C-alpha cells in the first residue's frame, strides 16, 4: 500500500508538471493520493492488531500529531466517500490558477485556507514528505525492513527516461 501512495504522489507530480492548465486531472490525482493515504492508515491499523476503537484512536492521535498532512488526506477521502465533510481537520481546499512568472511555470495549485483566512500552499512536496514519514513509521513498527529504496516502478521509469543503465538489485518491501 505504501508503494501505491508513492505512485499516486508521482502521478500527481507528473500531472502538475505536464498538464498544469487542466484542473480535473490535478483534482483526481490529489483525491487518489488522499484515498490511498487513508487506505494505508487502515492497512497499518489492521496489521498492528489495532482494530478496537480505543487502540485505533490512540494510534490516530499519534499519527496526526506526527503527520499533520495525513489528517488532511483522511478528511478529504472521507468527504469524497460521504459527500460531506466531517472530521477534525479544519479549513477548506481551493484550486487556484497561479499565473506564470520568470521563476515559476503557471498552473493550478491547491491551497489550504484555514479558518481566519490564513493560507498554505499544498504541494506535491507535502505529499512526498508524507510518503517518507509513512515509510519511517512502517520501519519503526516492523512492517518493512531496511533503508528506504525507490520502488521498482520508479527505477523502471528512470530507466525509460535516462536509458537502460544497470541499477542495483532491490529487495522488495
Q: How many CB atoms lie within 10 A of CB 152?
A: 13
Q: What is the mean pLDDT of residues 154-170?
A: 70
Q: Is the pLDDT of residue 84 over 60?
A: no
**Per the domain annotation, does 59 fall within a domain?**
yes
Domain count, the chain: 1
User: Is residue 98 assigned to a domain?
Assistant: no
Residues 58, 143: Cα–Cα separation, whole Å: 19
* Mean pLDDT for the stretch of residues 88-108: 79
User: What is the chain's mean pLDDT, rounded?
Assistant: 81
On whether residue 167 sits in a domain, the answer given is: no
Answer yes or no: are the C-beta atoms of 20 and 124 closer than 8 Å.
no
130 or 14, which is more confident: 130
Q: Which of 118, 37, 125, 114 is nearest to 80 (CA)?
A: 37
Give the distance from CA 106 to its chain's centroid: 22
Buried b (16+ CB within 10 A) or exposed e, 59-75: bbeebbeebebbbbbbb
pLDDT of residue 163: 78
More confident residue, 75 or 173: 75
Q: Please give the residue that has the higher pLDDT: either 131 or 80.
A: 131
Domain, as residue range, for 50: 2-88+123-162
Residue 80: the pLDDT is 59
Which tens digits make up the pLDDT trace of 101-113? 888 777 888 887 7
Please report whether residue 152 resides in a domain: yes
pLDDT at 75: 84
Secondary structure element (H or E) that encloses residue 149, with its range: none
42 is a domain residue: yes
Residue 81 has a pLDDT of 60
Domain membership of residue 115 (yes or no) is no
As to burial, measured by CB atoms within 10 angstroms (0-12 exposed, 13-18 middle, 19+ buried), residue 79 is middle
Tell me whether residue 111 is in a domain.
Answer: no
Residue 118 within a domain = no
- pTM: predicted TM-score of the whole model, two decimal places: 0.78
Q: What mean pLDDT is predicted for residues 83-95?
A: 64
Q: Nearest to residue 108, comparing CAs of 5, 10, 6, 24?
A: 24
Nearest to 31 by CA among 92, 82, 2, 73: 73
Least confident of 5-9, 59-63, 101-105, 119-123: 119-123
**Which has more confidence, 44 or 90?**
44
Amino acid at each position: 500500500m505504501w508503494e501505491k501512495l508513492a505512485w499516486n504522489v508521482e502521478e500527481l507530480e507528473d500531472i502538475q508538471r505536464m498538464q498544469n492548465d487542466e484542473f480535473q486531472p490535478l483534482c483526481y490525482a490529489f483525491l487518489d493520493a488522499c484515498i490511498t493515504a487513508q487506505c494505508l492508515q487502515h492497512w497499518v491499523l489492521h496489521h498492528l492488531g489495532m482494530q478496537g476503537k480505543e487502540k485505533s484512536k490512540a494510534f490516530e492521535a499519534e499519527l496526526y500529531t506526527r503527520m499533520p498532512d495525513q489528517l488532511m488526506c483522511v478528511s478529504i477521502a472521507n468527504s469524497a466517500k460521504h459527500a460531506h465533510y466531517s472530521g477534525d481537520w479544519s479549513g477548506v481546499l481551493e484550486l487556484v490558477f497561479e499565473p506564470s512568472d520568470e521563476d515559476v511555470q503557471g498552473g493550478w495549485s491547491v491551497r489550504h485556507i484555514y479558518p481566519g483566512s490564513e493560507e498554505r500552499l499544498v504541494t506535491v512536496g507535502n505529499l512526498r514528505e508524507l510518503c517518507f514519514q509513512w515509510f519511517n513509521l512502517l520501519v519503526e513498527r516492523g512492517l518493512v525492513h531496511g533503508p528506504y529504496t525507490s520502488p521498482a516502478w520508479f527505477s523502471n521509469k528512470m530507466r525509460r527516461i535516462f536509458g537502460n543503465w544497470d541499477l542495483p538489485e532491490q529487495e522488495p518491501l
